[in-house]
Amino acid sequence: MESLLGLKYPVVCAPMGGVAGGRLAAAVTRAGGLGMIGMGSAGSSSALRRELEIVPAGTGIGIGLVDWVMRRSPDLLETALAAKPKLLAVSFGDNYDWIEQAHAAGIPVAVQVHDAGSAEQAHDAGADILVARGLEGGGHGRPVHQRQEALRQTLTATDRPVLAAGAIATAADVTDALEADAAGVWVGTAFSACLEALSSAAHRRALFAATGADTVLTSTFDWAGGFSWPSDIPERVISNDFVAQWNTDHDDRSAAAEDLRRAVAADNESRICVNAGTGVGHLTEATSAAQVLMTLCGF
């Protein structure tokens, strides 16, 4: 990992759509980890360009795209490649044709996997870094194994660097991952309340109030938002009134869509979608990305 990306600390801030923009990515990289701009369900090449403009020239950051979004808007991949990121990740797909394009442009790639089979696939497709993501993780992902087991299986399938992901929230979590032979960690939720993140005020309040027991796996927000996520890829969110109302009632999508639109417009913390892993209970206040990185590294 260190030799591949030359990082001071083996910590990658996960690409988080709507949360990890250019400001957070640059702050994490400046502090010695790798920051990534995330383009999620609502990602677009214009949004990516906007976030890239915030990053000071020469700050090596990564970019993360979502497979089905990229396939709908191919200019997203073109924009990402043209930015020459230090690392490119395209998550949540099984077609790795984009890896060849990235490699042709001299860009190393990371792929999130969840078990030995998906790790073998990513390895064979040429992934330079594999991210073993456990089902504790925040946001979307195939919920197959806990982090420890996902990491163990991934390490049996590849000799390339493997990052552990899913509820990495403390220095002890990082130490455990490194002792289990991970080359580093890929962390989302712990950075999602950072001062530099795009998260709204209600989003942060929801994060600070929740514990891991408040998180659930659901596709309700995707259904209400009209997003084309594969049905076997739910997201881990903080459960709230919106989830309670619509999780089992999928009759009237337009009413749910309107409810969600109003919740977002009002920044209503009991109805908006807040992605979070089961480590969310460790978040108590908004701090800088550098502070989060130092905490994770045990300083």
Which of 64, 143, 161, 234 touches ligand FMN (CB under 6 A)?
Answer: 64
Size of the site for ligand FMN (CB under 6 A): 30
- What CA–CA distance (Å, rounded) separates 176 from 137? 16
Which of 161, 188, 212, 281 touches ligand FMN (CB under 6 A)?
Answer: 188
Measured at the CA of 126, the angle between CA 125 and CA 128, to 5 degrees, comes to: 140
- What CA–CA distance (Å, rounded) separates 139 from 17? 9
Q: Does 281 bind ligand FMN (CB under 6 A)?
A: no
Considering only residues 144 through 183, tell me which ones interact with ligand FMN, judged by CB under 6 A.
165-168
Q: Does 212 bind ligand FMN (CB under 6 A)?
A: no
DSSP 208-269: HH--GGGEEEE-HHHHHHT----TT--EEEE--HHHHHHSS--S-HHHHHHHHHHHHHHT-T
Which of 138, 184, 212, 281 touches ligand FMN (CB under 6 A)?
Answer: 138
Q: What is the maximal distance between C-alpha atoms in the chain?
A: 53
Which of 275, 281, 293, 297 touches ligand FMN (CB under 6 A)?
Answer: 275
CA 211 vs. chain centroid, Å, equals 19
Q: Does 35 bind ligand FMN (CB under 6 A)?
A: no
Q: Does 137 bind ligand FMN (CB under 6 A)?
A: yes
- What CA–CA distance (Å, rounded) separates 6 from 29? 11
Considering only residues 70 through 129, tell me which ones interact with ligand FMN, judged by CB under 6 A.
89, 91, 112
List residues binding ligand FMN (CB under 6 A): 14-17, 19, 38, 40, 64, 66, 89, 91, 112, 133, 137-139, 141, 165-168, 187-190, 192, 275-277, 279
